Amino acid sequence: MASLAHIIIFTILAVVILGSAILSVMSKSIMRSVTFLLFVLFAIAGIYFMLGYTYLGAAQISVYAGGITVLYVFAIQLVSKRSLQGLTERIKLSRVLQGALLSLAGLVTVGVVLLKNQFIVKAVAGSIEEYDMSQVAQAIVGSDKYQYVLPFEFISVFLLACIIGGVLIARKEDKK
Amino acid sequence: MFDFQIVTTWFDNLLRQTLGLGDFWSILIECVMVGLIILTIYALIAMFMIFFERKVCAWFQCRLGPMRVGPWGVFQVLADVLKMLIKEIFGVDRSDKFLYALAPCLTIVASVGTFSFLPWNKGAQVLDFNVGVFMITAISSIGVLGVILSGWGSNNKYSVVSAMRGAVQMISYEMSLGLCMVIAVVLCGTMQLSGIVEAQTGPWKWLIIQGHIPAIVAFCIFLIAGNAEANRGPFDLAEAESELTAGYHTEYSGMGFGYFYLAEYLNLVVISGLAAAIFLGGWAPLNIGVDGFDAVMNYIPGFVWFIGKTLAVIWVLMWVRWTFPRLRIDHILILEWKYLMPLTLITLVVMTACVSLGLTF
């Protein structure tokens, strides 16, 4: 019976994800597109919670809530006034066809990868081992073989460089 | 110590064994029940907070506050709520109606979401993840989206500017707020909110005593940052009608504005509740290591302790609100980025050093 609840929740989330994704691409107003993208990302976080990956779900919500905020600000500041009000954007059939072709290519790629690495077969047979959360966390900050402290630190240095670059660009020149 | 789990287990057994319902139906019924209870408490606390704010404000200004409707004006709130409910709702010309309607909902989702994390009593909390503290910051950041969307959806340039102000203020202070919680996590060794409270039971175990100086500094920063995060004075730029043409919710009326109003008061409760739970021991009673005294204190149920501590913190925050003059936006940002955040980082380092050297009580 618990699986019935799972199926119902999954169906709701899937409908939200697909519907919002289509609305996000088809919407004429950029602010609405960004809002629908927000729904897609939050519904994906919902799927993480359903699977029990609370940490990943929380990270998804916090990262993308901030990310979408930045997108809103970008949209308000960088997009011209006419297209912000949805006056110039039109939905062209050729664009829709291109998008459909691209998403089909993406679907085929994901499908081939899934079939190739036998994930579905293994998942049905139940032979996929789940890692404990503490094991994953230790692997990220550990310095042994197959542990990832170096890339972790490298990413932090990289992000720091990005922040400094951003501050330099945003800084007003001192008046001499 | 009264354990609320007795009640929940009894209800679960009632559904599963006495009524013989399966997993699916019993979980569904429990979820609906919990949701209803949370929303009811949310609305009732909002009403209580409006009254409390009016009275505290009046006392700080040496006046009486509402006195005419009912004894000490207790029914004034009902009249306010009625007014809010029956106000005419009108849209703004040529605005994006969908985003306009969505914004208050996002704000209230963030507020109810964080509200559900409060530990009311031993075994009485709705959401209790192992990444609890991180999850609270994640959900509270949805509120920023509500602010930006309400500003944009209003089709009013003052609202957009105000939304940008509100968003930059909330994003900035989230930093200090999150770091203060990290300081508590360093001391407790867990992010789970029930675990944090559990670590504070026992004589002289409240975090603010356990972690002495760095914990007290973190508690003060948490209150300041929380005050700013909840858009409360002296950081309440959204309320500055005369100087700034009010805030991002200028164009809302009726329950649209009501949602922002509710969320503001409940965010105050959430911030105070979290401060009480993380630094003042939540439902943990005051124990001083003397058996007789501790036994008496343990007889007082946990929710009384929690509500008492939360009310005390709320009172302090209201005191601050009605005492200090309002800050300008650049002062607000300078306060955060040049003073509070470096101070929080230093406190974090000091706390980590204290914990690793065993210098805590």
Q: What is the DSSP string of B110-143?
A: HHHHHHTT---BTTB-S---TTHHHHHHHHHTHH
Nearest-CA distance from B131 to chain A in Å? 6
pLDDT digits (tens), chain B, 361 positions: 677 788 888 888 888 888 777 777 888 888 898 899 999 999 899 889 988 888 888 988 888 888 888 888 888 888 888 888 888 887 787 778 888 888 899 999 999 999 998 888 887 788 888 888 888 988 888 888 888 888 888 888 888 888 888 888 888 898 899 999 999 998 888 888 888 888 888 788 888 888 888 899 999 999 999 888 888 878 877 676 666 666 777 778 778 888 888 888 899 999 999 999 988 888 888 888 788 888 888 888 888 889 999 999 999 998 988 888 888 888 889 999 999 999 999 999 999 999 898 887 7
The three-point CA angle B71-B72-B73 to 5° equals: 85
Query: What DSSP designation does B199 have?
Result: T
Query: CB B96 to CB A32 under 8 A?
Result: yes
What residues in B contact A87, CB-CB < 8 Å? Answer: none
Cβ atoms of B239 and B250 within 8 Å: the answer is no
ipTM: 0.83
pLDDT at B17: 80
Asked, for residue B142, whether it belongs to a domain, the answer is: yes
Q: State how far the Cα of B29 lies from the Cα of B8, in Å rounded to an integer.
A: 13
Q: Which domain holds residue B188?
A: 91-357
pLDDT for the residue numbered A1: 44
- Alpha-carbon distance A1 to nearest alpha carbon in chain B (angstroms): 6
Smallest CA–CA separation between B314 and chain A, in Å? 27
Count of pairs with CB atoms under 8 A, one residue in A, one in B: 70
Identify the residue whose tokens are 């007014």: B83
Give me B308's structure tokens.
Answer: 């008492």
> How many helices (H) and strands (E) are present in chain B, helices listed first?
16, 0
Q: Is residue B67 part of a domain?
A: no
Distance from CA of B144 to the nearest CA of A (A): 7
Contact list in B for residue A58 (CB cut-off 8 A) is 129, 131, 134-135, 138
Q: Does residue A108 or residue B68 have the better pLDDT? A: A108
Contacts of A31 in chain B (CB under 8 A): 96, 99, 152
Helix-then-strand count for chain A, H and E: 8, 0
Q: Are B179 and B345 in contact (CB under 8 A)?
A: yes
Judged by CB atoms closer than 8 Å, whether chains meet at A62 and B141 is answered as yes
- Contact call for residues B147 and B163 (beta carbons, < 8 A): yes
Mean pLDDT of chain A: 84
Q: What is the largest CA-CA distance in chain A?
A: 73
Omega prior to B234 cis, within 30 of 0: yes
B70 within a domain of the structure (yes/no)? no
Q: Is residue B302 part of a domain?
A: yes
Interface of A with B in 13-52 (CB under 8 A): 29, 31-32, 35, 38
pLDDT of amino acid A175: 62
Contacts of B172 by beta carbon, 8 Å cutoff, 6+ apart = B228, B332, B333, B336, B337
B190: Cβ contacts below 8 Å, ≥ 6 apart: B130, B196, B199
Q: Are B136 and B99 in contact (CB under 8 A)?
A: no
A79 vs A2, more confident? A79
Cβ atoms of A74 and A58 closer than 8 Å? no
Q: Given an 8 Å threshold on Cβ–Cβ distance, is B149 in contact with A35?
A: yes
Q: Which of B16, B141, B172, B182 to mutate to test the interface with A (most CBs of A within 10 A)?
A: B141
Extract the tokens encoding B201.
């039971």
What's the rounded Cα separation, in Å, for the pair A172 and B361? 48
B41 in any annotated domain: no
Q: Provide the pLDDT for residue A43.
A: 93
Question: What's the structural domain count of chain B?
Answer: 1
Which chain A residues contact residue B102 at CB under 8 A? 35
pLDDT at A86: 64
Q: A58 in contact with B at a CB cutoff of 8 Å?
A: yes
Is some CB atom of chain B closer than 8 A to the CB atom of A2?
yes
What is the per-residue pLDDT across A1-57, written as a single tens digit (0 to 9) for each? 457 888 888 999 999 999 999 898 888 888 888 899 999 999 999 999 888 888 888
Residue ranges of alpha helices (H) inside B87-232 are 97-115, 132-140, 142-153, 157-188, 193-198, 207-210, 212-229
Nearest of B1, B31, B34 to residue B306 by alpha carbon: B1
Q: Using an 8 Å CB-CB cutoff, list chain A residues near B167.
A: 69, 73
Chain B: residue whose CA lies nearest to A72: B148
Whether B6 maps to a domain, the answer reads: no
Residue B34 domain-assigned (yes or no): no
